[in-house]
Structure 1
Amino acid sequence: MRILFLSDNFPPETNAPANRLYDHAVRWVRAGHEVTVVTCAPNFPEGKVFPGYRNRWHAVEEWDGIRVVRVKSYITSNEGFLKRTLDYVSFMISGFIGGLFQKRPDVIVASSPQFFAAVGGWALAAVRRKPFIFELRDLWPASIVAVGAMEESRTIRLLEKLELFLYRRARRVVAVTHAFKQDLISRGIDGNKIEVVLNGVDLARYAPMTADASLQREHGLEGKFVVGYLGTHGMAHALDKVLEAAERLRDHDSIVFLFVGAGAAKAELESRARAQGLTNVRFVARQPKEAMPGYWSLCDLALIPLRDTPVFESVIPSKMFECMAMGIPVLMSLPDGEATGILRDAGAGVCVPPEDPQAMARAIEALKDDPAQCAALRESGLKAAQAYSRDRQAEKMLAALERAAGVKVTATTGHSPAASDRQ
């Protein structure tokens, strides 16, 4: 089967959409399928083209058998709705044009967030008369309102109409949470065409490992209880409240907060930490994908925070599965919903109310003082992670593509190579 996938995120970017697409596509290739990804020059989250790349009209490379076609787009940092929308629309157009010149596919997939990429995918599928599959990773534009980037307005209502149009025109919608599926059904979308394929973890890459001693020395973490946030430092993540928790624990010399990543909120967080003299906080720049397990290995506890808004009841942060696979207890601070339910059922962590730095600080201190509980959470997480392997999730999504395309798939996705195996 030939799969053509439009997404404006792909490695070497390291956010959840990029990781999910790579981890699925490499398994589909190993199962004997042809996968072409149309994307742009890597630039997320800083809005700056990565070293070694240029924002060119057309460039082709290969990642483990995946044909990657990079097209030109307007690239900007996260500096407001209008600039970001121009970024999204430019990729919609260039991605559509780039897709016209690829081998005739059996199915065309486009991924949110930002569903302008999905508009390009739908248009491309219509022109090439092929099934269109919408991979739904975010309830956009509802999430724009949720983080305060825009208020309810006529523009938002128009975007919601476009959103529903895409759901209706898609042959299949592949949602990353069950809550997303229920949301679509409640808005009149046929539930029979909605499939749920959760995020997962590459168990070959993320596994228990001894803390990297050189990184411990580099960041002054020897003998510390390390509370780690690794990922995008964005508006949705309530990291200002994490800093408030760090301030409450500033007199606990053995507790250190480690922030690894980049994003729109990072500069302000660093400035605030300096102004408050928080010596118990470390900031590390965004790291390549292959370095992330080493940084996770430094953590005794992983933080997963989000803003206190109902939209995030339906979100399942993918880093939860990486932490479980590495045996790192999770402290989750987001609205009760699907993610908190998974964590509690797995027994892999502790949940506190979102945007509550006092509750977060208390939970961190309690876990630091209770090694037995941390050990129990670690073991439970390791067991639960097996159910969320990328192998299994890639097979489920491939089956959804098969049903949409009417193509019989007989091969299994197999096992993905580690990063060191990449040619």
Structure 2
Amino acid sequence: MKIAVVYQYYQGHSAPGHSLIYEYTQHLAEQGHQVTVISGETGYMRPDQPRRPWYKRLLRIEHDGPVKVVRTYTYSELHRSYLGRLISFISFSLTAPIGLLRADKPDVLLASSPPIFPMFSIWLVCRLRRIPMVFEVRDLWPESAIQMGLLRNRALIAVMSWMERVLYDHCDLVVALTQGIHDDIERRGWPANKLKVITCGVDLEMLFPDLCAGRTIRLEHGWGDRNVILYLGAMGQANNLDLMLDAAGRYEDKEVLFVLVGDGMQRPHLEARIRAECLDNVVILPSVPKAMARAYINAADICLVTLMDIPLFQGAIPTKLLDYMACERPVLCGIEGEAAEIVSVSGAGVVFPPSSDQLVIAIRALLLDPERRRSMGENGGRYVRAHFNAQVNRAKMEATLDKVANSLPSR
């Protein structure tokens, strides 16, 4: 098959952040398919700026192993403000169709969202060229932005809601990243036979227990024998990381160190709080490449995952949760819904109501019981290997794309 994939933040394991699309495309190419990716210039957690002027960056073709990558101009100041992120989305909406039109006509196209604006312009090209389109939904937009309080403009909400309806109506298949996303879309009226769940799997060759790598990180950073509570990932408003700093401010035991590794729009705010409140038991580190994530996770005694307490996030499964579990680290989960169910059913950690007092109580209880932490880690590892193996999910995506490509022509 000739497969086109559109995702604004395509990047490999040498960069920090999500690598699901990279892993899908490399797998598809290894199976003999001709794969072309249409992507923007800046990774989700990469604030570095392109040096060439914008008019020399309208379109650039590179190769990532067997995968052809067409990078198109995108506004790169997305980390500075929500307006900057919106402009970045809109810029990719205008340039991504150019990249797709420059590529050979594919047999099927996979479009991964958010953001939703580029998906709409890509759908228009698919409709004109009669290309079957699979729409992967990682996050429900605009509803998640509305519930977080980031989107209040009624006109913009109406436009984005209309785009969402058109995409769900006219794409050939909607792939939801979690069961909660699937159920939300079905509840709003779309038929079950147009929806499919393919969860985010874990690359078990990259993420696994590695105490030697963990000890190396501890030595490099001088953490010694301190008990490390780790958060590794994006630092956006949705991630609710003030909760971790609140808990650190209440924690009197200086043998406990709170470590945040990552980047995002909230990082300057978190750094300012650490300075203003003299939180000497908190360390904030730059984001690390996906290939280095295993070492940092294995350096932790306990790993933390949390999101804002809004109804929509009850259907979320943060990839960092699965990464922690794959490395057999005990997890503190401050999220209700699907993520909490995974932690509870697997026995991989403790689910706590998202408050700093409850987080402190949970940390103290786990640090007093090393055997319980060890057992939780092993439970999580077994569960991920049984239910979230990336190899299985890549094969599911390949079969899904093949089925859509060989079905009736796109409407």
Q: Is residue 2:371 matched to residue 1:369? A: no
For residue 322 of structure 2, what is the aligned residue in structure 1? Answer: 321
- Separation in 2 of the partners of 1:93 and 1:158? 16
Q: Aligned pairs, how many?
A: 402
RMSD: 1.9
For 1:343, give the aligned amino acid.
V
Residue 22 of structure 1 and its aligned partner are, at CA, apart by 0.8
- Separation in 2 of the partners of 1:115 and 1:129? 20
**C-alpha spacing 1:52/1:258, structure 2 compared with 1 (3 Å):** farther
Q: Percent identity?
A: 32
Q: Is residue 2:17 matched to residue 1:15? A: yes
Q: Deviations over 1:94-146 (max 9, x none)?
A: 11111001112100111111111211321121122110111000001111122
- Separation in 1 of the partners of 2:140 and 2:17? 17
Corresponding residue SS for 2:77: coil
**Structure 1: gaps (5+ residues):** 408-423
Corresponding residue SS for 1:38: strand
**C-alpha spacing 1:284/1:79, structure 2 compared with 1 (3 Å):** closer
For residue 377 of structure 2, what is the aligned residue in structure 1? Answer: 378
Which 10-residue stretch deviates more, 191-200 or 58-67? 58-67
**Structure 2 counterparts to residues 20-419 of structure 1, below 5 A:** 20-45=20-45, 47-49=47-49, 56-151=57-152, 153-210=154-211, 211-249=213-251, 251-334=252-335, 336-354=336-354, 356-386=355-385, 387-406=387-406
**C-alpha spacing 1:52/1:319, structure 2 compared with 1 (3 Å):** farther
Kept in 2, the 8 Å contact 1:45–1:77? The answer is no
Corresponding residue SS for 1:22: helix
Q: Deviations over 1:169-216 (max 9, x none)?
A: 110001001111111111111210111000111000001101444421
Residue 230 of structure 1 and its aligned partner are, at CA, apart by 0.5
Q: Deviations over 1:28-75 (max 9, x none)?
A: 111111111110112423543378998712222222311111111222
- Separation in 2 of the partners of 1:47 and 1:160? 29
Q: Deviations over 1:312-363 (max 9, x none)?
A: 11111011111111111111101x2111111211111111112x00001110
**Structure 2: gaps (5+ residues):** none
For 1:65, give the aligned amino acid.
P
Q: Deviations over 1:214-252 (max 9, x none)?
A: 421332211011111101110101111110001111x21
For residue 416 of structure 1, what is the aligned residue in structure 2? Answer: none
- Separation in 2 of the partners of 1:26 and 1:120? 25
Corresponding residue SS for 1:49: coil
Kept in 1, the 8 Å contact 2:214–2:300? The answer is no
Kept in 1, the 8 Å contact 2:347–2:380? The answer is yes
State TM-score, norm by structure 2.
0.93
Corresponding residue SS for 2:60: strand
Corresponding residue SS for 1:218: helix
- Separation in 2 of the partners of 1:224 and 1:283? 16
State TM-score, norm by structure 1.
0.91
Kept in 2, the 8 Å contact 1:212–1:294? The answer is yes
Kept in 2, the 8 Å contact 1:46–1:264? The answer is no
- Separation in 1 of the partners of 2:341 and 2:224? 34
Residue 79 of structure 1 and its aligned partner are, at CA, apart by 4.2
Kept in 2, the 8 Å contact 1:58–1:71? The answer is yes
Kept in 2, the 8 Å contact 1:43–1:75? The answer is no
For 2:26, give the aligned amino acid.
V
